[in-house]
Structure 1
Amino acid sequence: MAEMQRRRPSRMDLSPRVAQAPPRTAPSGKPIKRRMNSPFGGMNMTEPKIRGQPRERSQAEEKRSSRYRDKERPREEKGRPEPFKALKMQRALAPVSYGHRTSVKSRISDIDTFDQFDLLPVIQQSIAPQALRAMDSVTPTPIQRLSIPALLGSDTRKVRRRNSMHKSEEMEQFLLAAETGSGKTLAYLLPVVDAIKRAEVEDTRAEERERAQKEVQSRKNPFELESPPLSNEPHSTTGRPRAIILLPTSELVAQVGSLVKSLSHTVKFRSALISASFTGQVIRNRLFSPNGIDVLISTPHLLSSIAESDPNVLSRVTHLVIDEADSLLDRSFSPLTSAIIDKATPSLQQLILCSATIPRSLDSFLRKRFPDIRRLVTPNLHAIPRRVQLGVVDVDKEPYRGNKNLACADTIWSIGKTAEEHSSTYPGEDAHENVDVKRIIVFVNEREKTLEVAEHLLSKGIDAVALSRDTDERKQSEILASFTTATEARDPGAAPPQALKPNYVPMNQAAAGSPRRMLPNTKVLVITDLGSRGIDTLAVRHVILYDVPHTTIDFIHRLGRTGRMGRRGRGVVLVGKGDRKDVVREVREGMFKGQALI
């Protein structure tokens, strides 16, 4: 009785269920949840159950979840910080296991020379004097050792093939993925030219067999007259190339086209490069030449517009190369590139995709569209080579005080001064006209910034020029020509080259108001990402990142303009107040350790 009196509430205590109706239940007996989408749905609530926000978990639930995560994580990973935390917040790259990289290293270690490839003798003899005439040592790079045997079909490795609704059973699909400056162009060009020359031999034999059959028929019917051949009949390959190489920009078309042209001088095949920098008459004369065409280098926009008016352009294509596939298969180029692939598929024998980076978007696209594609990936993919050094300049510290233009000019002056140590003076000439030329590329994120930075460098006595999409196309090719040619060190006993003198005359003969101090031994190109993809800047040893790149992919491509084809290079990043210093720090650590930036 005493216990019941003790449990009885006081008359002054209010019940927690005052003015609350009994809970509503469904016919099945389950309680009906309260609707929250009405204007009065949030009234008379003891807890603020806000829609769209997760419920706060209790301490016991947090402990249980953390204990479950620790149990699922391997023991060796416990307590180890996650690598590249900041880089993973950038645009993600497709991962490649280190086990696969190690197996590729062991597979290509036995190949030392181009003679080990099953190429035609005329192509073997043209590699050193035509394709690699600017290189000191003629040895195949890792991507060339890996891809040339595969594209030629001489490797004995069996690849499991599955039926695919997107391709014909005869078409082979390859993805060539290698770091920047590793010779990917020559890796796919040599097998394509080899296939063209072998096809020519087969066509010649077929013509001879057809001619022999006609002679046999003419002997059987000696009184049958044959119509004379037309004198103006075009070649069978006029406007119908055997191989097509697609590139995203006209600058890359000119670069790859020059390599193809140099190789055609000795191998003897017909090639043509077309882009928006040429007039319609020139494009028509090159594509529909009476002598025929074997290799066509073009951009997707121009080729798709030509294919709409003349579908026969893609009716004879056996080899289709999509260079810079991460750009040509993104949102802007993908519809045009996919349409070209679909139209060329009936006659296509090999589809070759080539890229220096494989983003996750490209990786998922390839798994859906080309599930049977054979991936030829080098061990150093997504890793900046160790021969490239990366320095960081903190713009917020003294003496720059947040002035990036001043920091950029000071960095270029410090690089240009080292060139004077290697100068060679000729008799009767000024020493400033014969010093070793330093070519530097400055990357910015916005094209409006290119002109501003170039003008500031000019005011500081530096020979700088801006290059963007707003620049005239003819001027673009002239500017890039001085940065895409490898210049060797000059012999003091040799005659002075006259081609280098005009580089310094405009600065020395500048108008009034020019700075007194000049840096005549340095040429600077201020550019956006227009020149970060595929441009073979062999003469460039220094790259300055005025702005920190937006993504990891841009980091790899910009730093890839230096240290190409085994040469050393250096990159400098200008880090300001609003830049991602954590991203720059992780890139430097990954470069030091030789890790892939995933």
Structure 2
Amino acid sequence: MSLSPKVSRPPAKTTPSGRPVGRRTNSPFAGMNQGSADIRREPRARSEAEVKRSSGGRERPKKAKEPFHALKMQKALSAVSYGQRTSIKAKISQTESFDDFPLLPMVKDSIATQALSGMVDLVPTPIQRLAIPVLLGNETRAARRRSSASGKKAMEQFLLAAETGSGKTLAYLLPVLDAIKRAEVMDTELEAQRKVQEEEEERKKANFHALEPPPLSNIPHPTTGRPRAIILVPTSELVTQVGNLTKLLSHTVKFRSGLISSAYSGKVIRNRLFAPTGIDVLISTPHLLASISESDPNILSRVSHLIIDEADSLLDRSFAPSTSTIIDKSTPSLEQLILCSATIPRSLDSYLRKRFPDMRRLVTPNLHAIPRRVQLGVVDVEKEPYRGNKILACADTIWSIGKAAAEHAPGDSERAETKRVLVFVNEREKTQEVAEYLKSKGIEAVALNRDTPEQRQSETLSAFTTIQPKSVPQTSNDSSLSTSSSGSNYIPLNRAPSTVTPPPRRHLPNTKVLVTTDLGSRGIDTLAVRHVILYDVPHSTIDFIHRLGRTGRMGRRGRGIVLVSKNDRRDVVREVKEGMFKGQALI
């Protein structure tokens, strides 16, 4: 056995180039032959001379701290410049009343009598002041002049972007109805049908005493199965909400509308779409309408106005194929394409720039900002008395809200104001768990998710979209949150009696709670909701805006409460709260 001649030599202190050799610390024998146990040594701090040498003798400038650093790590939103917001504020201040819009008299009358009945001060919202004149064509004279010179009217493309609860539905619905009524006067098919009917009536009068019967006319209505305007929304709940508003306006404006969704049977959908009297406005979901247009493409042959409500949802991965198919098939006859949304994500912004580069964007100054009339509170679940029990913190918060209602009318719980609370969770399996726990604590709660039947969904949401006067006593047979005389909650019929939760000892009166996912945060006009509880911190900035946008609608005040645990993003919640206090857009 012979040793290597390098055993007796000390390790080289310098490299062939003259640089010192550092000690290797990544080998299993790197910590041997040391006088002190310096195995987990910290990196040596570099001197100022070494920093200057590495930077070429120049000091690196320190980057300014950007606002909303944590929010930018979430789903990014498209920014709106400060100068553009200032110019829009000056523009919308010029309109003070609905009378300033050049609408038809019948359309103007429907605003006060049907759409906004019961309101004392009828003042248009910022998005209505901004969008209605443009959609009516008052500010596109040059474009109309060019189209008339070419002999063909080009399709107009608009994007309406405004905060939640700002009246976007009425902003696009009034100009569309005005255009439909003006087109009826110039419609040659309707005029031809009217002449045929008049000739038949004259023939009947002339042949009244004749033995032969008058000829029957089997000519269908020109608009049968061929609507003039189509409104696309993502869910059946929004179909019902927009459809109800459209029906109200039809009492004064006199047009025919129909709403179809998966909540209706095939026979009902066929009767509404192919009614003998025709149809002018159709409200539907993209999947259903795209499947119908495959078997009957004639449905989209007469569409002049196509409205895509909640465009950020209808142009994402799940809805984009169906929505794009409807846009492509209706393009030949389309006069106006209107996209409507409360948020503009970066993905939607890039898609619109590629697909519709000439689209005109009508954006309100407060886009991507939660209104300052909505306050945000934070409950730390890790502190006393909850000790990490989030579901207990949720029940205790609701009890605190409910007690405030009883204090307004002590001893008379029937006349106290009913508090309606929305609780948002991230997973649909969690909705039923939270609702059952709240019931065990004496709180009237119901879960709403995709597994809930369609009819039950509409009944549940009806209690949170309408406001009841305080003088109306709350009966025990409520349509959405039924309770028995002993105070127990709604019991599904398919549940065995042995598994029913026993009635709680205490009961919170005049408080109704809806536990839901993002199903209840998109476009639903929850006008009666004053409190929103975020059981789970939302995954993105868009979810923050839509969930907190369920309260403080139409100028009312609201309050949001976030339950924060040790696994939640506290920095995101902190930046959202600071942005709401300053009135800044969450971008």
TM-superposed deviation, 1:512: 7.4
Report the counterpart of residue 37 of structure 1 in structure 2: none
Match of 1:534 among 497, 509, 523: 523
Report the counterpart of residue 94 of structure 1 in structure 2: 78
1:197-242 deviation per Cα after TM superposition (whole angstroms, max 9, x unaligned): 0011112697279959x99xxxxxxxxxxxx874332211000000
Provide the rounded CA distance (Å) in 2 between the counterparts of 1:392 and 1:159.
Answer: 51
TM-superposed deviation, 1:487: 2.8
TM-superposed deviation, 1:499: 8.7
Identify if the C-alpha distance between structure 1 residues 13 and 244 changes in structure 2 by more than 3 Å, giving closer, same or farther. closer
* Contact residue 439 and residue 540 of structure 1 kept, 8 A: yes
Provide the rounded CA distance (Å) in 2 between the counterparts of 1:575 and 1:388.
Answer: 19
Identify if the C-alpha distance between structure 1 residues 372 and 156 changes in structure 2 by more than 3 Å, giving closer, same or farther. closer
Count of aligned residue pairs for this structure pair: 516
Provide the rounded CA distance (Å) in 1 between the counterparts of 2:525 and 2:349.
Answer: 25
Is 1:475 aligned with 2:456? yes
TM-superposed deviation, 1:66: 7.7
* Contact residue 416 and residue 470 of structure 2 kept, 8 A: no
Is 1:144 aligned with 2:128? yes
Identify if the C-alpha distance between structure 1 residues 397 and 512 changes in structure 2 by more than 3 Å, giving closer, same or farther. closer
TM-superposed deviation, 1:432: 3.0
Of 564-573 and 148-157, more deviation after overlay is shown by 148-157
Report the counterpart of residue 448 of structure 1 in structure 2: 429
* Contact residue 134 and residue 486 of structure 1 kept, 8 A: no
Structure 1's unaligned 5+ residue stretches are 1-9, 18-57, 71-77, 216-227, 426-430
Report the counterpart of residue 21 of structure 2 in structure 1: none
TM-superposed deviation, 1:133: 1.9
Match of 1:549 among 514, 538, 547: 538
Provide the rounded CA distance (Å) in 1 between the counterparts of 2:193 and 2:264.
Answer: 41
SS at match of 1:235: coil
Identify if the C-alpha distance between structure 1 residues 263 and 63 changes in structure 2 by more than 3 Å, giving closer, same or farther. same
Report the counterpart of residue 268 of structure 2 in structure 1: 282
1:324-350 deviation per Cα after TM superposition (whole angstroms, max 9, x unaligned): 000000111111111110100000000
Of 329-338 and 183-192, more deviation after overlay is shown by 329-338
Report the counterpart of residue 359 of structure 1 in structure 2: 345
* Contact residue 52 and residue 58 of structure 2 kept, 8 A: no
TM-superposed deviation, 1:515: 1.2
SS at match of 2:186: helix
Match of 2:55 among 48, 63, 82: 63
The one-letter amino acid of 2:382's match is D
* Contact residue 476 and residue 484 of structure 2 kept, 8 A: no
1:523-570 deviation per Cα after TM superposition (whole angstroms, max 9, x unaligned): 000000001010000000000000000000000000000000111000
Identify if the C-alpha distance between structure 1 residues 413 and 289 changes in structure 2 by more than 3 Å, giving closer, same or farther. same
TM-superposed deviation, 1:147: 0.2
The one-letter amino acid of 2:366's match is N
SS at match of 2:531: strand
Counterpart mapping for 1:369-408 below 5 A: 369-408=355-394
1:463-502 deviation per Cα after TM superposition (whole angstroms, max 9, x unaligned): 0000100111111110001111123443xxxx75769867
Report the counterpart of residue 248 of structure 2 in structure 1: 262
* Contact residue 504 and residue 520 of structure 1 kept, 8 A: no
Counterpart mapping for 1:42-441 below 5 A: 59-60=51-52, 63-64=55-56, 67=59, 70=61, 80-155=64-139, 170-203=154-187, 207=191, 230-423=216-409, 431-441=412-422
Report the counterpart of residue 575 of structure 2 in structure 1: 586
Provide the rounded CA distance (Å) in 1 between the counterparts of 2:59 and 2:144.
Answer: 43
* Contact residue 461 and residue 516 of structure 1 kept, 8 A: yes
Identify if the C-alpha distance between structure 1 residues 13 and 93 changes in structure 2 by more than 3 Å, giving closer, same or farther. closer
SS at match of 1:409: helix
The one-letter amino acid of 1:572's match is I
Deviating above 4 A after TM superposition, structure 1's stretches of 4 or more consecutive aligned residues are 12-17, 58-62, 64-68, 156-163, 208-212, 495-504
Identify if the C-alpha distance between structure 1 residues 210 and 500 changes in structure 2 by more than 3 Å, giving closer, same or farther. closer
SS at match of 1:519: coil
Report the counterpart of residue 508 of structure 1 in structure 2: 486
Of 274-283 and 132-141, more deviation after overlay is shown by 132-141
Provide the rounded CA distance (Å) in 1 between the counterparts of 2:372 and 2:540.
Answer: 20
The one-letter amino acid of 1:185's match is T
SS at match of 1:565: helix
* Contact residue 419 and residue 529 of structure 2 kept, 8 A: yes
The one-letter amino acid of 2:165's match is G
Of 252-261 and 132-141, more deviation after overlay is shown by 132-141
TM-superposed deviation, 1:132: 1.1
Identify if the C-alpha distance between structure 1 residues 157 and 356 changes in structure 2 by more than 3 Å, giving closer, same or farther. farther
Report the counterpart of residue 24 of structure 2 in structure 1: none
Is 1:518 aligned with 2:507? yes
Report the counterpart of residue 31 of structure 1 in structure 2: none
Structure 2's unaligned 5+ residue stretches are 1-8, 17-49, 200-213, 489-499
Report the counterpart of residue 558 of structure 2 in structure 1: 569
SS at match of 2:465: coil
Identify if the C-alpha distance between structure 1 residues 205 and 240 changes in structure 2 by more than 3 Å, giving closer, same or farther. closer
SS at match of 1:344: helix
Identify if the C-alpha distance between structure 1 residues 395 and 591 changes in structure 2 by more than 3 Å, giving closer, same or farther. same
TM-superposed deviation, 1:145: 0.2
Provide the rounded CA distance (Å) in 1 between the counterparts of 2:571 and 2:12.
Answer: 59
TM-superposed deviation, 1:420: 1.0
Provide the rounded CA distance (Å) in 2 between the counterparts of 1:162 and 1:116.
Answer: 27
SS at match of 1:570: strand
SS at match of 1:458: helix
Identity %: 70
Identify if the C-alpha distance between structure 1 residues 574 and 498 changes in structure 2 by more than 3 Å, giving closer, same or farther. closer
TM-superposed deviation, 1:128: 1.2
Provide the rounded CA distance (Å) in 1 between the counterparts of 2:66 and 2:12.
Answer: 55
Provide the rounded CA distance (Å) in 2 between the counterparts of 1:66 and 1:306.
Answer: 68
TM-superposed deviation, 1:422: 2.7
Identify if the C-alpha distance between structure 1 residues 423 and 402 changes in structure 2 by more than 3 Å, giving closer, same or farther. same
Identify if the C-alpha distance between structure 1 residues 464 and 346 changes in structure 2 by more than 3 Å, giving closer, same or farther. same
Identify if the C-alpha distance between structure 1 residues 66 and 377 changes in structure 2 by more than 3 Å, giving closer, same or farther. farther
SS at match of 1:483: helix
Provide the TM-score with structure 1 as the length reference: 0.81
SS at match of 1:506: coil
TM-superposed deviation, 1:129: 1.6
1:11-30 deviation per Cα after TM superposition (whole angstroms, max 9, x unaligned): x999978xxxxxxxxxxxxx
Provide the rounded CA distance (Å) in 2 between the counterparts of 1:499 and 1:374.
Answer: 51
The one-letter amino acid of 1:235's match is H
CA-based RMSD of the aligned residues comes to: 3.0
SS at match of 2:510: strand
* Contact residue 315 and residue 347 of structure 1 kept, 8 A: yes
TM-superposed deviation, 1:140: 0.3
SS at match of 1:540: coil
* Contact residue 153 and residue 335 of structure 2 kept, 8 A: no
Report the counterpart of residue 19 of structure 2 in structure 1: none
